Amino acid sequence: MKGLIVDEPWIGAILSGRKSWEMRSSRTTHRGRFALIRKGSGLVVGLADLIGCEPAIVSLEAYAAAEARHCIPAERQKAAFEGRWRIPWVLADVVSLARPVPYVHPRGAVTWVVLADDVAATIADALSAP
């Protein structure tokens, strides 16, 4: 199972269901279920489906129009746009874990982490627990 590293406040917005687009600087070919990792915590805190990538946002006006999906506030949009955070990764079926699952963060991992089989099994167990 793959895990996506997401910083606050964005991961909180994803887990609360307010944020359906994760803005990135490049496209991804990954589709399907993945773990949500809170950056710097060593913890898997949820799961989501990556169902696609939208075309890059090409103007600040379009960025502002999509605020409800990406949740980047107006005062931060110019910096995000200029920082090349223009590609919406479309998320669906987000689930927050009742108890975060620890994992070992591999050196150099910045975006994706391949989680060990035992971590994936612990996540599966957590989801099936009553």
Q: Where are the domains of the chain?
A: 2-128
Give, for all 130 residues of the chain, the pLDDT tens digit: 999 999 999 999 999 999 999 999 999 999 999 999 999 999 999 999 999 999 999 999 999 999 999 999 999 999 999 999 999 999 999 999 999 999 999 999 999 999 999 999 999 998 887 6
Q: Per CATH, which fold does 2-128 belong to?
A: 2.30.130
Burial (Cβ within 10 Å: 0-12, 13-18, ≥19) of residue 39: middle
100 CB-side CA count, 13 A: 12
Q: Smallest Cα–Cα separation from 38: which of 93, 122, 103?
A: 103
